[in-house]
Copies of this chain bind each other. A is one copy, B any other.
Amino acid sequence: VSFISYCYPGSDKGVASVLEELFYPRSVAFVGFTSAPSDWSSRMMPRALIDFGFEGRVYLVSRSGEQLPGLQTFTSFTQVPEPVDLVVCNIPARATPGLLEECVAKGVPFVHLVTSGFSEIGYEEGRQLERQIVEIARRGGIRLLGPNCPGFYCPASHFSFSSLLPRESGTVGWFAQSGGHCIRFLRMAGARGVRFSKAVAMGNAADLDAAAFMEYFSQDEATKVICCYVEGVRDGQRFLSLARKASLVKPVIIHKGGHTSAGTRATASHTGALAGNDIVWEALCQQAKVLRLYSIEEMVNTVLPFALLPPPKGRKVAVLGYGGGLSVQAADDCERAGLEVPPFPSELRERLASFTPVPNNSVKNPVDTQHLVFSRAEWMETVRLATGWEGVDLAIFPVAIDMMPLLEEEDILETMVENIIAAKEVCSKPAVVVLHQGVSASMSAVVTAAASKLCAAGFPVFPTLAEAARALARCLSYYEASRES
């Protein structure tokens, strides 16, 4: 594939204003619509636009004339009478050059190719077809998204490729060279209270690519944190220099796929990308001062404190919740991650011990507050005193319902969650919650519902203390580095 600059030569528009037009289309045509159950992607997007209340015009183009209530259907694209800002293409790969020529003739500025069967299939035929559509687009002034991807999500313009995503906008910008990863991150982080400015699955990124989106998100004022997943980029140096620039103004979190030889083989199958030498990548990421991660799960945990907390002042943590072995685990997990769990001074311990029905040792930090589940006032006072101490910068509230060998655990969990939400009033440091998973189907549902409540109250919620500690430590590393530079 020949190198396609992220901005066409001769264009006087910067990438930021180009992409702003992509994210706010006034009219969209879905070409290749079918309601066949096997063709998920074709149904998914028009339905999502209806569900999101998209206010622009929407046309369906379906050779067999299939319909969706409220939308106009045409049997060929050339029949669409009005201008179209965005064509979403879902027809077979071999027919895409013809459609692109029709788009050129009509003056369509953006084409998003859901269609796969290009460079990712591993045959010369696919690579040739990808070159061909890029050439047609370039000649005709069309910007391409994809091919081989579900596209973008922009809650502010009521545009989404899936009905299951949050309707509200937020501060995280996200782009991914994988539709599956794109959707997983949106859903997993979304369920944890994170909201997005825009998100893009860029597929093979034949035209609009990682560099274009990095530049866009670094300039986008709605975006306060940039997250991305890349498998390979055409010009790694350039991409990482854009990432470095971005990281001077906002945190940049990168998950690079294909960092092992088996993974590299898999990226070729996936987006036709050449993953590049991982040692070089690692060094460049360090130079660029971006946070580099190795999975979507890590990215979900890592984005939480950036998206939901004010910048913490330092690494000293008060742990209020667990008792016994889990307190030991909590202290180990914090210290391994690079946080500190300073022992409370004797004066503070004495004040806590005066109303906490556990031995002196258990108010040292971590503090065992299990016995305070049904004593709201004492629990609140514990939080007030512990987080009021100048020796800590952060609070962690762990809840381990899987530790209770009892039958009444649902009620206990509810009370614990209410206690934590009430404690927001008296907690004077940024705080996160650790909520262990349930082990039965009913407990899983109860725990997930409890997590939603805590998220709605503004808490970052983590499944394990180790993950919370690693996420907080990464967040602190970014802020410490930006204070230095």
- Which A residues lie at the B interface, using CB under 8 A? 38, 40, 44, 116-117, 120-123, 126, 150, 161-165, 176-181, 183-184, 187-188, 190-191, 229, 231, 257-263, 265-270, 294-297, 322-336, 340-341, 343, 359-362, 364, 366, 374, 400, 402-407, 436-442, 444-449, 452, 464, 466
Contact = CB atoms under 8 A, between A and B. Distances in A.
Copies of this subunit: 2
Contact of A269 (B121, B364, B400, B439): B364
Contact of A449 (B116, B441, B464): B441
A403 B331 contact: no
Nearest to A117: B359
Given A120-B359, A179-B325, A445-B448, 11 more contacts: A44-B405, A178-B324, A180-B322, A191-B439, A266-B366, A267-B328, A270-B327, A441-B452, A444-B447, A444-B448, A445-B445
A268 B257 CA distance: 43
B444 A359 contact: no
B184 A403 contact: yes
A327 to B, nearest CB: 5
B180 A262 contact: no
A1 B446 CA distance: 44
A294 B330 CA distance: 11
A297 B464 CA distance: 9
Contacts of A162: 405-406
Q: What 7 pairs between A and B have smallest CB-CB spacing?
A: A178-B325, A121-B359, A162-B405, A263-B332, A269-B361, A260-B335, A122-B361
A452 B441 CA distance: 9
A323 B260 contact: no
Nearest to A176: B325
B150 A343 contact: no
A151 to B, nearest CB: 11
B328 A257 contact: yes
